[in-house]
Structure 1
Amino acid sequence: MSSHPTAPAVGRPPGTREVPTIRRRDGIGGVLAFRKDQLGFLRAGLDRYGDILRFRPLGIPIVLVNHPEHIRHILVENGENYDKDAVLFRVVRPVLRQGLIANADMDLWRRQRRMMAPHFTPRTVANFARNMTDETVRMLQGWERRTAEVLDVTDEIGQLALRIVNRSLFSAEVGATAQAFERAFGTANAILGAFFRFPFPPLSVPTRRNRKLHRAIDEMDTFVSTFVRARLAGDAPTGEDADLLTLLLHSVDEEDGEGMELEQLHHEVLNICIGAYETTTNTLSWAFYLLARHPEVEARLHAEVDAALGDRSVPSFEDLPRLPYTRMVIDETLRIYSPAYQFMRRAREEDTVGGYRIPAHTNLLINSYFLHRHPDFWPDPERFVPERFTPEAIAARPKHVYTPFGAGHRICIGKHFALTELILVLATVARRYRLTLPHATTEVVPEALITLHPKGGIHLRLEERR
């Protein structure tokens, strides 16, 4: 896809073009088309205009960029000019508040990142790997009497993900509260996804929908605050056994020598819970679905896991280098179905991107659902081909054509935690079980909420490997 030139505009810098805009007469549709089918609307716009275009849901101008060079410029080369005071993050901020994911205050974000980054390095994540495998084994023990049943994989993995993140954060078990958190997040995800597509009436208006949203937020807040209050009132694990909450409570900013205020800590913990839960739940659900549809890939995955583990049934952090194909399966799943499939930036000052004028305060949308399917960089993009992620194939592509965790200085802080968890859980399950299609015609479609969710969930039949 290539961007189409447009007519000169009065007042723009010499040598630049105006971003083409979807108009009613184009036949693509307007705000109602975007509201009804976000992905279909954007696909039609990209097919007509190429890799950069503007659209206006309810009069709010948004520029979609879909080329790795554009994205490299926005997130890396001129990243300081682009903040998160963009419409998508304003939509999710009632949930995420001032946590790292949606924080628009650059100074506060830098301070928080400085304090938190040391606790998310590969070396630190290694201390939590046992939590990941222990909880997965616990899930598999619950599957022992369910062979041949059709499992709600999305629900099973969702509960697993919350057990892992809460054991890592709080050294605690979540029990039935995990399902309550899942339901609350699902409600907020659906409501905010619909609000992004049609932002009216404002979330401050006490409509039935908005009251439902605020109840869901209260439930998630209660989930987090219960554990935080318990920690403040009791003893905390120390040394190598220290959990993330302990590490965050004792973090001190190297510049001002101060720690994190309790309200900010609450925001960060909620962000971690949501980010870790949603990434793991959706990515592994899609991974098992894709493996069920591609038995030849599944067979190669099983062969690698068996060879790497030998007579052991559970992988460890030290096994990760021996599981390169397992990592490729995860990477290819993230290519096709990235949970964080869209994110935005706002231009603080006027800029030029790919020869196009970007006025100050423009909202820029990066949608990896389309970027990861760009035919110029991904041949036959709908096919599930883990070999796209061999070292040679990665080196042959532009770096910023693959952005499941974002890029630049605001790349996801939990990337190492997420990838470690995804690989270890997948390998632990694959060592013992297969998840197969209950019917040959089983097909799951993505639902574009704030995150990319499998519509109706993934339901697969459990089979023990022989």
Structure 2
Amino acid sequence: MPRTTTPRELPTAGSRDLLGGALAFRRDQLGFLADNVNRHGDLFRFRPLGLPMVLANHPDHIQHILVDGEQRYDKNATIFKVVRPVLRDGLIAIADKERWGRQRRMMAPLFTPRTVAGFTENMTDETVRMLDRWDRRSAADALLDITDEVGQLALRIVNRSLFSADVSAAAQSFERAFATANDVLGSFFRFPFPPLSWPTLRRRRLHRAIDDMDRFVSGVIRQRTEGSDPSQSQSPDLLSLLMHSTDDDGSVMEPEQLHHEVLNLCIGAFETTTNTLSWAFYLLARHPHIEERLHEEVDRVLAGRVPRFDDLPRLTYTRMIIDETLRIYSPAYQTMRHVCEEDIVGGYRIPAGSNILINSYLLHRHPEFWPDPETFDPENFTPERVAARPKHAYIPFGSGRRVCIGKHFALAELTLALATVARGHRLLLPPGAPLVAPEPLITLHPRGGIHLRLACR
């Protein structure tokens, strides 16, 4: 009979605070995890405030957890419990696998590359409108809060694609509300005490933010349902498609579920674009030799015109810049799974009930797969280098059956927006500008925002 190898016990991150490392995790989440990867390797456990956590930080682990053995894991994990008050039963956080499967079947046809092609004009039109506003500013007002500017752009794109409307004024309240929720929930995830059910100032801030986001979503859905039949439009928006999508049995979404999905789409599309484009402009400003290559490609492919969907296959270096930005600063920089039944990963026993933390900020810097990982280098995404790496060394949109449904929309939007700006504009670092550090909330933000100076090419 073949011999079986007894699984090893996971190494445990040491703690001096008697709280399982909770204070160190709260103070510097990324630093705490990076230090323990250096000490213990790509699998280790820690118990902040008694919560059983296991960090998995190798492509083979990711393949096993998200793809090969995904039936042993679900989304009843701590991080999704933290964000569920905001996301509810939308596709991002829904835990029940059967219910998730139904929603995914109904929504997947809305996000194929072919469907996304119908929305790319929204992306470039709104970027051109943003550039026109920038050009009208005086030279004295040319220092831009890029994070805010790109956030407004992202909201206009998602509003136009979702609702076929310019609801920018109302959407700004949505942006502020989400920023509050992200801050509150990010802080709570790092140190989950006191419970959000307690009547604290933090709880009141969160509930006001949720109410503001719900009010925005309810308003646009109500306007649509009280108006004419949107299915008769020749170019239906995403809300129309959601309202008329059906499952295999012909059933449609209940109103509450529709609300949750629209909310999830607003948050997902807004966050991805805002943070990725902000970081991309910052990185290009710090690496002018890479910006020069971007300009060369944009000039050659577009010859001054606005890009179209069918330009995407030829904007290869532009896309490499987006991919490299997502490597270094993925907005969705962490995800988590709950272990439903005991498993063995990498030869180690993973107890049932554990929370598996997958942190792409660390994974995308793994020295085994990324030479000089802190350097911004779009050449990491040449076809040859991509083929030489394990697939799960790079997971900005997750992987497996629960890979982000908006991946094609996001990549088209990011590439086209960057190319549209690069046709005639540059964003430069102001003299003496400090380095911008990442801020790990529920998503990864540039701490303090990114401020750059506008210049025409």
Band of TM-score, shorter chain: over 0.9
2:204 maps to 1:207: no
Which one of the candidate residues 224, 233, 245 is aligned to 2:239?
A: 245
**Structure 1 position 15, deviation (Å):** 1.9
**1:160–1:430 Cα change, 3 Å:** same
Superposition RMSD in Å: 1.5
Q: Distance in 2 between matches of 1:277 and 1:324?
A: 24
Show the counterpart of 1:450.
442
Matching residue's letter, 2:179: G
**Structure 1 position 210, deviation (Å):** 0.4
Contact 1:147–1:464 (8 Å) recurs in 2: no
**1:320–1:263 Cα change, 3 Å:** same
**Structure 1 position 202, deviation (Å):** 1.2
Contact 1:147–1:462 (8 Å) recurs in 2: no
Please state whether the residue corresponding to 1:434 is helix, strand or coil: strand
Please state whether the residue corresponding to 1:18 is helix, strand or coil: coil
Matching residue's letter, 2:253: M
Show the counterpart of 1:230.
223
Q: Distance in 2 between matches of 1:413 and 1:201?
A: 34
2:454 maps to 1:462: yes
Contact 1:292–1:298 (8 Å) recurs in 2: yes
Show the counterpart of 1:389.
381
Deviations 1:267-322 (A, max 9, x none): 0000000000000000000000000000000000011011101242x100011011
Deviations 1:167-204 (A, max 9, x none): 00010111222221111111000100000011111111
Which one of the candidate residues 38, 45, 61 is aligned to 2:52?
A: 61
2:257 maps to 1:257: no
Which one of the candidate residues 361, 364, 367 is aligned to 2:353?
A: 361
In the TM superposition, 1:157-176 aligns within 5 A as 157-176=150-169
Q: Distance in 2 between matches of 1:308 and 1:78?
A: 43
Show the counterpart of 1:7.
none
Show the counterpart of 1:19.
10
Which one of the candidate residues 275, 278, 281 is aligned to 1:288?
A: 281
Deviations 1:352-387 (A, max 9, x none): 100011111211000000000001110000000001
**Structure 1 position 441, deviation (Å):** 4.1
2:343 maps to 1:334: no
Matching residue's letter, 2:334: Q
Q: Distance in 1 between matches of 2:288 and 2:244?
A: 48
In the TM superposition, 1:79-228 aligns within 5 A as 79-146=70-137, 148=139, 149-228=142-221
Normalising by structure 1, we get a TM-score of 0.95
Matching residue's letter, 1:86: A
Q: Distance in 1 between matches of 2:354 and 2:5?
A: 19
Deviations 1:332-358 (A, max 9, x none): 000000000000011111111000111
2:313 maps to 1:309: no
Contact 2:164–2:237 (8 Å) recurs in 1: yes
Which one of the candidate residues 263, 278, 281 is aligned to 1:270?
A: 263
Gaps of 5+ in 1: 1-12
Contact 1:28–1:44 (8 Å) recurs in 2: no
Q: Distance in 2 between matches of 1:300 and 1:277?
A: 28
Matching residue's letter, 1:55: F
Q: Distance in 1 between matches of 2:290 and 2:207?
A: 43
Q: Distance in 1 between matches of 2:399 and 2:109?
A: 18
**1:27–1:222 Cα change, 3 Å:** closer
Please state whether the residue corresponding to 1:24 is helix, strand or coil: coil
**Structure 1 position 443, deviation (Å):** 1.1
Q: In percent, how many aligned pairs have the same letter?
A: 70
Normalising by structure 2, we get a TM-score of 0.97
Q: Distance in 1 between matches of 2:108 and 2:408?
A: 11
Q: Distance in 1 between matches of 2:263 and 2:175?
A: 13
Contact 2:367–2:373 (8 Å) recurs in 1: yes
Matching residue's letter, 2:390: P
56-65 or 17-26, larger mean C-alpha shift = 17-26
Structure 1 outlier segments of 4+, above 3 Å: 25-29, 237-240
Q: Distance in 1 between matches of 2:89 and 2:287?
A: 42
Q: Distance in 2 between matches of 1:104 and 1:322?
A: 39
Show the counterpart of 1:416.
408
Matching residue's letter, 1:302: H
Q: Distance in 2 between matches of 1:26 and 1:197?
A: 15
Please state whether the residue corresponding to 2:119 is helix, strand or coil: helix
**1:401–1:27 Cα change, 3 Å:** farther
141-150 or 41-50, larger mean C-alpha shift = 141-150
**Structure 1 position 252, deviation (Å):** 0.6
